[in-house]
Structure 1
Amino acid sequence: MLGGLTGFTNPGGGDWGERMLNTVASQSIRHLFTKSESVEVSVRCSPSSKLLQGSIDSFKMSGRGLVIRRDFPVEEMSFETDAVSLDFSSILKGKITLKQPTQAIALVTLSEEGINQAFKAELVRKRLQNLSIDSLNDLTGGESVSFTEVQLQLENGNRIRLFAKAELPERGTVPISMTMTLGVERRRRITFKDPQFHPDGVPEELRETSQTLAKALAEVLDNMVDLDRFDLDGVTMRINRLETQGKKLLFSGYAQIEHFPGVG
């Protein structure tokens, strides 16, 4: 078997070593996601004999229709590394082991529909329910408040339009409508800034209350979305830029890859 690897070719002219690494890497990458519509891996290694020493020139992954941790849809994700050092013996065992961590350029696309689905995830809902917010004490009498049925619409210029309902003790349900601007802080936290209350759809007698609740919800969201809470196994994402394009939210940045997950 090892003798056949020295040339990394088969009679059909394909690069057997790269194809084997592509197959093993695809299996490992798919293991990162709860679901995946497609995952494609491309490894470049020239000359092919460098693979015997565990050296490859670049590693590229692109995936579509991905789901992270059962509840967080990603429409598209791709990353591409520079040179990578691998333990070649691990490839023969159907695994990929990095000799040292590596970085990759990363691109992520979320859809408006996928973001709204994520707001229904238990992890997110828990962070919006039974909240004690000091700024709302006069309104709630010190009781907790819950925000439900959160829906957002992506707009140009990194703006979003957000609708929600607040459940108040003794006051029942209050609708909320506002716009905000998305941003990035410390390359890992998504910020919700410049909240602007919109009275459309809010009964006149509830507008003052709704405006107060909108400001409180904006503060909650601004401190909620930290990528470190959604890290993939062995992969840490960092964002340099985000941009709204139609009904999509695009992120560009980099991924720090410590290790590949096991296949299983």
Structure 2
Amino acid sequence: MTAIVFGTLPFPNQSGDQIVSKAVSAAIAALFKRTGKIQATVRAEPVAKLLQGSVDGFDFIGNGMLMYNGLRIEDMELYVQAVSIDFSAIFSGQVKLRQPTQASMRVVLTEEDLTNSFNTPFVVEKLQKLQYQGQSLNFSNTQMLVNDDKSLTIKTQIRLGKSTETIDLDLTAQLEVQERRKLQFVEVHYGGNEQSQSLGEALIDHVNDLLDLDKFALDGTQLRVDRVRIRNKQIIFYGVAKINQFPQRK
């Protein structure tokens, strides 16, 4: 009976789980400006459960994912728990959840990803909201380095207001997760002269205030980080994504 039903669907020679897997892959890809290889694998046993929208879960693996705000993710893995979906929406290219679900996640950012992120208009605009001694800040040549001792180094050049002179900032810190959602630079060591150090302290306070995952999560999702691993010029986040509705690009 199941074969007869799926045989009448507008996707010949494909089983129901393959249809849903491709739809989920396409829906996730649409959230990004550009992606490398992405693959979603839906788990449903027996497959007939899909007709009622019941899914045992699905696994998603993607790499080279560039967001529309310019931020890039080297690798992302999501392992979604059992979920109920609106099967009829699949044929219009949409993924609709009938109830919230949760996924374990693994996200990898490279040193290059981090450097590029700090130079995107999306992040630069947020950084420039900080004022120092009543003057606006203009950032250039920002670098983020992942060191062998698992510390992170930020180097940047800043112009105050309309000045043509640049102030070099060079600071090194540890990365810590607080309350499972706030990424914080702690144990900071500031280089340079007194002015550079004072400006660096103001910058770190501002950046720490910005690095709240709730400010970056897609609509309908909530991200929580349980562990951070730093190695091989990469930062790897392990945690949980709570999904109330399948996100859509604004």
- TM-score between the two structures when normalised by the length of structure 2: 0.87
Q: How does 1:146-185 map onto structure 2 within 5 Å?
A: 146-156=138-148, 158-168=150-160, 172-185=165-178
How far residue 219 of structure 1 moved from its aligned partner, in angstroms, is 1.4
Among 205, 222, 225, the alignment partner of 1:236 is 222
How far residue 40 of structure 1 moved from its aligned partner, in angstroms, is 0.3
How far residue 29 of structure 1 moved from its aligned partner, in angstroms, is 1.1
Gapped regions of structure 2 (runs ≥ 5)? none
Residues 167-213 of structure 1: per-residue CA shift (max 9 Å, x gap): 235682111111011111222221111110234xxxxxxx2222222
- Counterpart position of 1:258: 244
State how far apart, in whole Å, the 1-side matches of 2:178 and 2:51 are. Answer: 42
How far residue 233 of structure 1 moved from its aligned partner, in angstroms, is 4.2
How far residue 58 of structure 1 moved from its aligned partner, in angstroms, is 1.4
Relative distance call for 1:214 and 1:16 in structure 2 (3 A) is: same
SS in 1 for 2:96: coil
Contact kept, 8 Å, 1:147 with 1:217, in 2: the verdict is no
Relative distance call for 1:41 and 1:130 in structure 2 (3 A) is: closer
How far residue 75 of structure 1 moved from its aligned partner, in angstroms, is 0.3
- Counterpart position of 1:191: 184
Q: How does 1:1-264 map onto structure 2 within 5 Å?
A: 4-5=4-5, 16-129=15-128, 131-133=130-132, 140=133, 142-156=134-148, 158-168=150-160, 172-199=165-192, 207-261=193-247
State how far apart, in whole Å, the 1-side matches of 2:200 and 2:227 are. Answer: 26
Residues 6-48 of structure 1: per-residue CA shift (max 9 Å, x gap): 699xxxxx87111111111111111111111111011111111
Contact kept, 8 Å, 1:85 with 1:99, in 2: the verdict is yes
User: Partner letter of residue 43 of structure 1?
Assistant: V
Relative distance call for 1:213 and 1:171 in structure 2 (3 A) is: farther
User: Partner letter of residue 159 of structure 1?
Assistant: S
CA RMSD in angstroms comes to: 2.7
Contact kept, 8 Å, 1:242 with 1:249, in 2: the verdict is yes
User: Partner letter of residue 241 of structure 1?
Assistant: R
Relative distance call for 1:41 and 1:261 in structure 2 (3 A) is: same
SS in 1 for 2:210: coil
State how far apart, in whole Å, the 2-side matches of 1:220 and 1:262 are. Answer: 29
User: Partner letter of residue 65 of structure 2?
Assistant: L
Residues 73-109 of structure 1: per-residue CA shift (max 9 Å, x gap): 1000110112111122223444322110110001100
State how far apart, in whole Å, the 1-side matches of 2:83 and 2:112 are. Answer: 36
Larger RCO, structure (CA 8 Å, separation 6 or more): 1
Larger Rg: 1
Report how many residues are paired.
246
State how far apart, in whole Å, the 1-side matches of 2:137 and 2:159 are. Answer: 6
State how far apart, in whole Å, the 2-side matches of 1:71 and 1:239 are. Answer: 22
User: Partner letter of residue 154 of structure 1?
Assistant: V
- TM-score between the two structures when normalised by the length of structure 1: 0.83
Relative distance call for 1:226 and 1:73 in structure 2 (3 A) is: same
Contact kept, 8 Å, 1:7 with 1:48, in 2: the verdict is no
Gapped regions of structure 1 (runs ≥ 5)? 9-13, 134-139, 200-206
How far residue 259 of structure 1 moved from its aligned partner, in angstroms, is 2.2
